[in-house]
Amino acid sequence: MAEKLHVVMLPWIAFGHMIPFFQLSIALAKAGIKVSFVSTPRNIKRLPEIPPGLEDLVEFVEFPLPSLDNDVLPEDGEATVDIPAEKIEYLKIAYDLLKHPLKQFIADELPDWIIIDMMPYWMVDIARENKVPLIHFTAFCAAANVFLGHPERIVGDGQKRLSMTSKPEWVDFPSSVAYRNDEAVSAFEGIYGENASGITDVERVSRIQNGCQALVVRSCAEFEGDYLNLFERLTGKPVIPIGVLPREKPERKQLTDDQPLNARYLVEKGLGVEIERGEDGSFTRDGVEKALKLAMVSAEGKSLREKASEAGVLFGNLKLHQDYYIAKFVDFLKKKKRNV
């Protein structure tokens, strides 16, 4: 009997990333794939329990988060939720130090695939040295990934802050996905700004996209077809939608920050209304009331409510997302796995 396919999952240590990786791990295990989910001890303790019957297929692999000098990180601070925003750059330093035990782990295990997040750029070299194919699983929608552009463009001169407030030139169809002026300042700094780890977030993404064999997006063609197709053209690599993964009951610690590009796309699809804001991003009680009335009771909001109902049917179609999209991804993993 052939051995089960073995996949190593390595998310960034933020719950908005670890939870989708956990959900994908469970979906793959249900398809008979062995999964090694790698994280730190405290983060693993805070993840949902492995569903009954899958304990033999999903293994939590714990590596202690390396400590840094001068106690720059709080004790037991192992995820972004544990740490003040101004110290996240030091969490990246500690996370990057995991490359040493992970290098040995991959060499010992020689999995069929490694699936990584946006941060561990060093896994590109580890995968190449061990001849293990690599997949980038992005926690962001296809529209947000397309906004950044080609892997070569998003580094160097790449984007400028002002260019983040309008549709990119490479988007060849109508799109309203962009940052507002007040959002662009912090978004630009977060994506392109220097930090204590010595490498910008966008450089990490660029190296991973250049070094991976495929990209996976938590989306579907029925919702983001144009963006998925363009993302594939921009990267020149397979971009595989895996559908809408089933969600665990959300907890406060699992919630992610608001993603402006996602909000723009929902408005573009006619599925949401944004509250009017000032140049500084502020909003008023009247603005909130106006948006609520439009969405919930006004005649103008009828189309929005109808589209939201249709989207609910689409996102709730488990046969589509699990039986079709996950099944296609599993088929890809089996056909393109590491050659022994």
- pLDDT 10s digits, 83-105: 998 999 999 999 999 999 999 99
What CATH number has the domain spanning 6-257+317-335? 3.40.50.2000
- Active-site residue, 17 included: yes
Domain spans, the chain: 6-257+317-335
Distance in angstroms (rounded) separating the CA atoms of residues 115 and 85: 26
Share of the chain above pLDDT 70, in %: 74
- The rounded Cα 290 to chain-centroid distance in angstroms is 32
Quick one: pLDDT at residue 221?
86
- For residue range 220-250, list pLDDT tens digits in order: 888 888 999 999 999 999 999 998 775 544 4
pTM for the predicted model, two decimal places: 0.83
Distant-in-sequence, close-in-space partners of 10: CB < 8 Å, separation ≥ 6: 21, 38, 102, 114, 115, 116, 117, 120, 123
- Segment 95-149, tens digit of pLDDT: 999 999 999 999 999 999 999 999 999 999 999 999 999 999 998 889 989 988 8
Average pLDDT, the chain: 84
Distance CA 168, CA 261 (A): 13
Q: For residue 335, what are the CA distances in angstroms to 5, 165, 328?
A: 11, 41, 11
Tracing tokens 């782990």 back to the chain, one arrives at 105
Instruction: Give kind and range of the element (H or E) at residue 35.
Output: strand 34-39
Query: Tell me: the pLDDT tens digits for 13-53?
Result: 999 999 999 999 999 999 999 999 999 999 999 999 999 99
Banded pLDDT at 258 (limits 50, 70, 90)? very low
The question of whether 323 is a catalytic residue gets the answer no
DSSP per-residue letters across 63-124: -PPPP-GGG-S-TT--SGGGS-GGGHHHHHHHHHTTHHHHHHHHHHH--SEEEE-SS-TTHH
State the Rg of the chain over Cα: 20
Residue of 82, 96, 117, 201 marked catalytic: 117
CB-CB neighbours of 261 under 10 Å: 21
* pLDDT tens track for 151-199: 666 655 555 555 788 888 899 988 888 888 878 777 788 888 889 999 9
How many whole angstroms from its chain centre is CA 121?
A: 15
Two tokens, residue 227: 């963006």
